[in-house]
Chains A and B, each alone.
Chain A
Amino acid sequence: DAMVIQNPRYQVTQFGKPVTLSCSQTLNHNVMYWYQQKSSQAPKLLFHYYDKDFNNEADTPDNFQSRRPNTSFCFLDIRSPGLGDAAMYLCATSRDVQVGGYTFGSGTRLTVV
Chain B
Amino acid sequence: LAKTTQPISMDSYEGQEVNITCSHNNIATNDYITWYQQFPSQGPRFIIQGYKTKVTNEVASLFIPADRKSSTLSLPRVSLSDTAVYYCLVGDMKITGGGNKLTFGTGTQLKVEL
CB distance from A28 to the nearest CB of B (A): 15
B77 contacts A by Cβ under 8 Å = no
B residues within 8 A CB of A50? 95-98
Interface pair B93/A97, CB less than 8 Å apart: yes
Chain A residues within 8 Å of B91, by CB: 98
Given contacts A31-B95, A43-B44, contact A101 B49 (CB under 8 A): yes
CB distance from B23 to the nearest CB of A (A): 16
Given A48-B101, A99-B93, CB of A104 within 8 Å of CB of B106: no
We find that the number of chain B residues with CB closer than 8 angstroms to chain A is 25
Interface residues of A in 78-108 (CB under 8 A from B): 88, 90-92, 94, 96-107
> CA separation between A33 and B36, bound complex, in Å?
16
A100 touches B49 (CB 8 A): yes
B65 touches A (CB below 8 Å) = no
Complex Cα distance, B93 from A97, in Å, reads 6
Tell me how many residue pairs across A and B have CB atoms closer than 8 Å: 69
* B interface: dominant SS: loop
| Interface residues on chain A, number (Cβ under 8 Å) | 30
Instruction: Spell out B's residues near A (CB within 8 Å).
Output: 32, 34, 36, 41-46, 49, 87, 91, 93-98, 101-107
* Chain A residues in the interface with B (C-beta under 8 A): 4, 31, 33, 35, 42-45, 48, 50, 53, 55, 88, 90-92, 94, 96-107, 109
